[in-house]
Chain A
Amino acid sequence: MATYLEFIQQNEERDGVRFSWNVWPSSRLEATRMVVPLACLLTPLKERPDLPPVQYEPVLCSRPTCKAVLNPLCQVDYRAKLWACNFCFQRNQFPPAYTGISEVNQPAELMPQFSTIEYMIQRGARSPLIFLYVVDTCLEEDDLQALKESLQMSLSLLPPDALVGLITFGRMVQVHELSCEGISKSYVFRGTKDLTAKQIQDMLGLTKSAMPMQQARPAQPQEQPFVSSRFLQPVHKIDMNLTDLLGELQRDPWPVTQGKRPLRSTGVALSIAVGLLEGTFPNTGARIMLFTGGPPTQGPGMVVGDELKTPIRSWHDIEKDNARFMKKATKHYEMLANRTAANGHCIDIYACALDQTGLLEMKCCPNLTGGHMVMGDSFNTSLFKQTFQRIFSKDFNGDFRMAFGATLEVKTSRELKIAGAIGPCVSLNVKGPCVSENELGVGGTSQWKICGLDPTSTLGIYFEVVNQHNAPIPQGGRGAIQFVTQYQHSSTQKRIRVTTIARNWADAQSQLRHIEAAFDQEAAAVLMARLGVFRAESEEGPDVLRWLDRQLIRLCQKFGQYNKEDPTSFRLSDSFSLYPQFMFHLRRSPFLQVFNNSPDESSYYRHHFARQDLTQSLIMIQPILYSYSFHGPPEPVLLDSSSILADRILLMDTFFQIVIYLGETIAQWRKAGYQDMPEYENFKHLLQAPLDDAQEILQARFPMPRYINTEHGGSQARFLLSKVNPSQTHNNLYAWGQETGAPILTDDVSLQVFMDHLKKLAVSSAS
């Protein structure tokens, strides 16, 4: 544990946790003065190839309000076979199975290296995974064809015993029955009428069988699969049928007159999908996968009318309160999302269209249920195809990288309380002694439900130090937090992953240095960004920016070293040095800036930002820029306009886009065809290098980024130009005419200006 950096990294690898502060201020007052809240990024299912699950169940603290899991931090009396809960100090008897334990014969959960441990639960019914495809048929012919192929392909990727179902929609919504031979059968619903779950089940003929099922379930869980067998069938059984069915899918046959949008009943289709699963498989892992090629145009959840002359709402409309359908639609989807979350199912949205598709309104569906949101231009693009394929990718064990119906429970030692969480989760509204009254993110609970998650799903969890200043913590005291994640593994097992961490307390007055040094500026930036984005969902953009600025200034005031009123004297320690820059880019990011983004895009970006792990989040905040040249190996360069040089190739990764940009000279060379000449093979290699690197990134990322290969002066170069720090613009004349870099035509402030202002404000005594 040489440095905090290593410590942080180690902790992240082992526990999937990154704290903003790794030494905790010991009193509430001090904690609030730290500006950046005590919080962590938790990746509950972080892939741990080295961590085989144990085959037994966790030992719980016997105090009903605690129920913490036995962990390495507990004090154990091996002789008395007792252990003391490190959260509530309850002394507990070991269960009979543990009679053989001793100092040398410890169960795994007591070993320090098992601060994160996974239990496999054997009891309970195991129900197969469920995939319910909800497919828009109002697509262009080739789009539909591509989608059909993707879906057909996906069948081969599903586990053979998984249940699949198909709902298609256009003007009507069809629930396809999959078990019939010789004739394809579907139940059709009007696309304009919202139905209650009860009605849907009645109409699908599920009620009769469902009633006895519910009563009989405890006794005969076996019956379950048969109940809804008509609509959800094991893949291996109806593989062929479904392939044919998908193959015969027609475009929505209802005529669309000129000047109209096709009538698309997305709202009802989703509602029916939710209702179907709700009635048949509550609380088992299920994915509703919505594929849509346009905005919902009728019925509940409609986002825009069918008149093409009325464009779909823009941010401008929303600000002017001019988006007629937005509120109602949002309400509809929120209601659905909450129902889905309550049932433990998740909703994915795959929206491929050139125009907006209503993600803004529908975002809560994936956001609250942990589903995926994918946005593309067409189903006939590799972006969609590969993204979709990647959903079914498998891990080192050959298991799907997805888990369902997870419940995350957080326990804290007494000095801490839980303020909230931000991520793809919903509150389970479990009040408890460790729940804070102040909310940050989704608060007021110690448990959250995450209906769908994968190994990278990451939550920001915010805490509040409640220890009073006058009740000092004994020297060497540690605060502890336990994360208990129960979930359904893709192999359909129930598992529980328990992570218990502890950090030292420190008195902020006497040991500020320690605390400062233990600041994780990356985590802090992401955590603050999440807070900002969370706020941006409900507040006006400028307010959020102002709040962020204020926080940044306060942080600088608190931790900067400076002389009052002397901006030039301002210094930040290493552990803080990058933070302002992150904030600068965050302010410019699409997560907070809606300019140039449609509401759908903003929703899309925010969705991913709220669930990716730290590394990816940082890339989103501050894209990475690599430069390739004949001068040496590829090197990361400043995300700055000055990095845009004529003889360089740039590779920018913004998470959502991979941009390869050929400098002016390079582009000319390529145009001249040098790469094809044997004597310029090195040029060919140079051209190839960023492509290869990009491929590497593309391979690993979910969702597939938009891949842009452009050059100086290319229209697509805007993706690069909009990201780089506009250190040279048409405004700063002194840079005009310089050889290096490319001026950006913008009125945005550059990082330098930003920093100058920041320093000024930080050292100002007025603020």
Chain B
Amino acid sequence: MSVNQSAPPVPPFGQNQPVYPGYHPASYGGQPGPAVPASPYGAYNGPVPGYQQTPPQGVPRAPPSSGAPPASMQAPCGQTTYGQFGQGDIQNGPSSTAQMQRLQGSQQFGPPLAPVVSQPAVLQPYGPPPTSTQVTAQLAGMQISGAVSHAPPSSVLGYGPPTSLASASGSFPNSGPYGSYPQSQAPPLSQAQGHPGVQPPLRSAPPLASSFTSPASGGPRMPSMTGPLPPGQGFGSLPVSQPNHVSSTPSHALPPGTQMTGPPGTQMTGPPVPPPSMHSPQQAGYQLQQNGSFGPARGPQPNYESPYPGAPTFGSQPGPPQPLPPKRLDPDAIPSPQLNELPPQQRARHRIDPDAIPSPIQVIEDDRNNRGSEPFVTGVRGQVPPLVTTNFLVKDQGNASPRYIRCTSYNIPCTSDMAKQAQVPLAAVIKPLARLPPEEASPYVVDHGEAGPLRCNRCKAYMCPLMTFIEGGRRFQCSFCSCVNDVPPQYFQHLDHTGKRVDAYDRPELSLGSYEFLATVDYCKNNKFPSPPAFIFMIDVSYNAIRTGLVRLLCEELKSLLDYLPREGGAEESAIRVGFVTYNKVLHFYNVKSSLAQPQMMVVSDVADMFVPLLDGFLVNVRESRAVITSLLDKIPEMFADTRETETVFAPVIQAGMEALKAAECAGKLFLFHTSLPIAEAPGKLKNRDDRKLINTDKEKTLFQPQTGTYQTLAKDCVAQGCCVDLFLFPNQYVDVATLSVVPQLTGGSVYKYACFQVENDQERFLSDLRRDVQKVVGFDAVMRVRTSTGIRAVDFFGAFYMSNTTDVELAGLDEDKTVAVEFKHDDRLSEESGALLQCALLYTSCAGQRRLRIHNLALNCCTQLADLYRNCETDTLINYMAKFAYRGVVNSPVKTVRDTLITQCAQILACYRKNCASPSSAGQLILPECMKLLPVYLNCVLKSDVLQPGAEVTTDDRAYVRQLVSSMDVAETNVFFYPRLLPLTKSPIDSTSEPPAVRASEERLSSGDIYLLENGLNLFVWVGASVQQGVVQSLFNVSSFSQITSGLSVLPVLDNPLSRKVRGLIDSLRAQRMRYMKLIVVKQEDKLEMLFKHFLVEDKSLSGGASYVDFLCHMHKEIRQLLS
């Protein structure tokens, strides 16, 4: 965003349609101008189809692209494309041609090929739907991108001409090579030459790439460059998708030949070598640079402005709006009057083919196919693990499983200069207590006896496989700080001929990446071994809670739930003690001592100065006090049945729980069930300060800030006591989640929110969440420390925890779902040989009260070439980190600034790549690194999320809720949260047992004859098309027709037929995968509720102004171009 801002003209995204006309032309013009209009198009067209085809399978694409002659191609392409898309084929066909023409006209204006891409982008924003078909084709190409490499070239070429469609698809592959704009001209030429088909252009691109070579030399990318040569291979070889691409490549390869020559020499050599080994596993399908080279930067810009204007998306908004647009237009391309005149819809049609831009679905699918089958062995330093969406087994051979730690990059630049240049955040997302699949062994517990775990004397790092034993085993050198330490006699062991300890494989701490130490008393608070933790249930019994039936439901549930408290290993019963508190304006403690005939209630009304009224009998063993507890839980709903108390307190409740734990001298967890804004006179009293008018103002941030400092202070005390707070909210109106969640957030707790809770509708969801929350493994009173080898340093932490200094992450409680993101910065130069090492040590009290240290070690590579960095990145993790970074930022900066920062950073990352790693290509091409080709789409999702761009129906509480939720999400969760999964339910055969292949989250992907399921980890929708077969409706909903389906239905009838079983089974399995129970909502096409559903179709333009994927891609491209120029 900053870029935009800096460049006054740019900002004008905000403007409206009027601008479009101008832009389109501009963009088009740009393209044509530079290149030979006709040929390019042809080329593009050609490629397009190819890509489309390819998506499904690599091979097909290639041929088409290559084969496709320019002109002729177009037509066919168009058709094929459409066909594939299955959508408005007809329209597309024609429209495309029309576009083409226009493009030509437009091309004159400006930049060569580039414009193409941009145009598409531009166009899409306007009329996403129509274009979509086209776009899709492109997208397909993109996804295939692996194959892409070939395609890309073609696409690139194509793009220019065909505009978005071709360009998109082609561009990716090529993009790498094409990188440099200036060259863009060249491409056209090449294209012209190549011409005939898409391929030529592609190749042309490569040549450009050759020019890049220098940059490419960096490493893998080079290969990518070369890739073009052997198209598929080249790319594939590099990092890219080998399989798919390969097939495709060949075809391209041929044409490229010429191109090849240029770059090949150098590139080939470089890339081939490294890439094969390195990348093959990781980036199967992707080429380093996926490029969606988008058209002309300028052309697009204007366009963007216009389209975006409305959309705050990019951050540049209204401010610049209308006036600006004109300016921009000027720079880029002059809008042709005609274009301007064109109705928006038509323009839309001209946009980029969505299928040609990188598809998350495709990437995920490819990764699954390529990496899901073999276990991921962690022995090798710096390996990029499979995507989080892939099911894979992990074999711990010295590095922590990616389930525990994921990094944004597994290859860290050696110098801070490089890191700054690349702008890729170096971060690790750590989930120290992650639950492992049953096939993987949980960490071994190591007992080093009374002396405690063996540690480096200087930096205090724990013994790990990374330590080097020297002098025959008498000493060891710390790999973090290089200090040489003596090996204590009892730990001595001889070394074998390789310098390894003979017992290395007998000792988990010498052979595994993750393991646990038993802590000695030195590691305990007050030098006393902790007592088993306690759970305290604190239930709001004010009028609201009683009225909704919450209290009764909860009490009923607790009776059975108490049997399932977390247990240590094979323990017969949980060591955890429980206590109960109810409250409204005052607090009621309960004495449930086993010796009592009936529970005793103790009311504390002195909320201003909270204390715990009893000690003995408050926290009890469930088994011993079973009878009294049951009686209590029976009584609670009765006792308050007639309550008229509507006011509640909040801070005193937490304080009470904390004091109780303090009195009992143990750590523990509070489960708070709260309904309303705490307005009763007491510390932490809140007022309703919700004000939608603040949105999009500088004061918006105040909505995310706590109202009072009380809660921070309280949280600090809680942390000191090891008191973790889980908050269940049942608000009917504003409850100020931002303030109420402060304590859970700082104590490592969770917040659950059930707006307008009704027992009938929300019971299942609440109970399921509660069960999971109570049962899940949790560590208490934890301190996490991340140590790194010399040269880098953990500088920033994100998540639900408290820090009293700059290094220790204090967590009152840490459960298996919580993650902590850690950002690293350079301290010094790193060396490629020693790499960068991380050791995350978590000291915690287990649920049985045992004090332990969990150690995770991870070794990363270091690089001197930026290309290595880009080849070893993990976009999902990156997005996870960036989202957390941005979400934290909204507390201090206006949301617009935060969005701008994100966009700028993303643009910088990509621009750096383009500049340093991609082979030279037309400036009009958007070239994305293979590993990051999804960065734009994901980032766009982040930008469009409720926190950063709230829709009208999103409440302040919702935003605060999501904000804190995301702060401790792991990578898998953020992945699906920001880019929901959309699964067609009726497309695959009923008897197939596997999950149906997902489709992209766009309305265009929905066919009215099908039923879809969408989930993002929090929500679950079943969307029913209007023309679904009656039989299907019958077998799923047990009603005879579409119109009889109840909209908003939250449960599917249990029917005994294969479809119903399958769908319900699918829903169950999805729910089981997610941290929180997803409430089902059945949405009918064209129904009111559909708005809600559409909100999650993140590739589309959102109602609140969020850009569509294509628009955003174009915008991003523009930003990149600006950076580059």
Contacts and interface: CB of A to CB of B under 8 A. Distances in A.
Contact of B605 (A193, A202, A254, A255): A202
B598 A183 contact: yes
B614 interface: yes
A323 B586 CA distance: 38
B616 A182 contact: no
Contact of A184 (B601, B605, B611, B616): B601
A184 B600 contact: yes
A205 B603 CA distance: 11
Given A174-B613, A188-B589, A203 B606 contact: yes
B613 A193 contact: no
Interface in B581-619: 586, 588-589, 593, 596-606, 609, 611, 613-617
Contacts of B586: 187, 203, 205
A399 B593 CA distance: 42
A205 B606 CA distance: 11
A747 interface: no
A189 interface: yes
Interface residues of A, number: 26
A96 interface: no
A231 B152 CA distance: 83
Given A190-B606, A190-B609, A183 B639 contact: yes
Nearest to B638: A182
A182 B600 CA distance: 9
Contacts of A182: 598, 631, 635, 638
A188 B602 contact: yes
A186 B601 contact: yes
B613 A172 contact: yes
Contacts of B941: none
A183 B601 contact: yes
Contacts of A185: 588, 600-603
A248 B606 contact: no
Contacts of A255: 615
Contacts of A204: 605
B634 to A, nearest CB: 9
A187 B589 CA distance: 10
Given A203-B605, A203-B606, A250-B616, A190 B600 contact: no
A188 B613 contact: yes
Given A203-B586, A248-B597, A253-B616, A183 B609 contact: no
B653 interface: no
A195 B609 CA distance: 11
Contacts of B596: 248
A78 B593 CA distance: 77
A186 B606 contact: no
Contact of A172 (B593, B614, B635): B614
A255 B665 CA distance: 12
A186 B598 contact: no
Interface in A175-213: 177, 180, 182-190, 193, 195, 199, 202-205
B352 interface: no
Contacts of B602: 174, 185-188
B603 A188 contact: yes
B632 interface: yes
B601 A253 contact: no
A244 to B, nearest CB: 8
Looking at A180, A190, A204, which has the most chain B CB atoms within 10 Å of its CB?
A190
Contact of A193 (B603, B606, B639): B606
A633 to B, nearest CB: 59
Contacts of B611: 172, 190
A428 B192 CA distance: 116
Contact of A186 (B600, B616, B617, B639): B600
A254 B598 CA distance: 21
Nearest to A193: B609
A254 B635 contact: no
B609 A187 contact: no
A20 to B, nearest CB: 53
Contacts of B589: 188
A129 to B, nearest CB: 26
Interface string A475-515: 00000000000000000000000000000000000000000
A172 B618 CA distance: 14
Interface string A237-253: 00000001000101001
Contacts of B615: 253-255
A186 B599 CA distance: 11
A184 B611 CA distance: 20
Contacts of B616: 250, 253-254
B614 A187 contact: no
Contacts of A184: 598-601
Nearest to B636: A183
Given A188-B589, A254-B615, A205 B605 contact: yes
Contact of B632 (A180, A183, A253): A183
B829 to A, nearest CB: 57
B631 to A, nearest CB: 8
Nearest to B611: A190
Interface in A30-53: none
A193 to B, nearest CB: 6
A256 to B, nearest CB: 12
Contact of B614 (A183, A203, A248, A253): A253
Contacts of A202: 605
A184 B590 CA distance: 9
A188 B604 contact: yes
A255 B601 CA distance: 20
Contact of A183 (B593, B600, B606): B600
Nearest to A175: B603
B607 to A, nearest CB: 9
Given A204-B605, A205-B605, A183 B599 contact: yes
A37 to B, nearest CB: 51
Nearest to B599: A183
B460 to A, nearest CB: 35
Contacts of B638: 182
A187 B605 contact: yes
Contact of B617 (A174, A205, A244, A253): A253
Nearest to A202: B605
A182 B590 CA distance: 13
Contacts of A187: 586, 602-605
Interface in B619-636: 631-632, 635
A98 B5 CA distance: 105
A498 B1046 CA distance: 87
B551 to A, nearest CB: 15
Nearest to A200: B605
Contacts of B588: 185
Nearest to B593: A250
Contacts of A248: 596-597, 600
Contacts of A180: 601, 639
Given A248-B596, A253-B615, A183 B635 contact: yes
B652 to A, nearest CB: 12
A180 B600 CA distance: 11
Interface string B629-666: 00110010011000000000000000000000000000
Interface in A208-267: 244, 248, 250, 253-255
27 contacts: A172-B611, A174-B602, A182-B635, A182-B638, A183-B599, A183-B632, A183-B635, A184-B600, A184-B601, A186-B600, A186-B602, A187-B586, A187-B602, A187-B604, A187-B605, A188-B603, A189-B605, A195-B606, A199-B606, A203-B606, A205-B586, A248-B596, A250-B617, A253-B614, A253-B616, A253-B617, A254-B615
5 pairs of A and B residues whose beta carbons are closest in the complex = A203-B605, A253-B616, A188-B613, A185-B601, A187-B603
Interface of A: 172, 174, 177, 180, 182-190, 193, 195, 199, 202-205, 244, 248, 250, 253-255
Given A188-B589, A190-B611, A254-B616, 14 more contacts: A172-B613, A180-B639, A182-B598, A183-B598, A183-B599, A183-B600, A183-B601, A184-B598, A186-B602, A187-B605, A188-B603, A188-B614, A250-B616, A250-B617
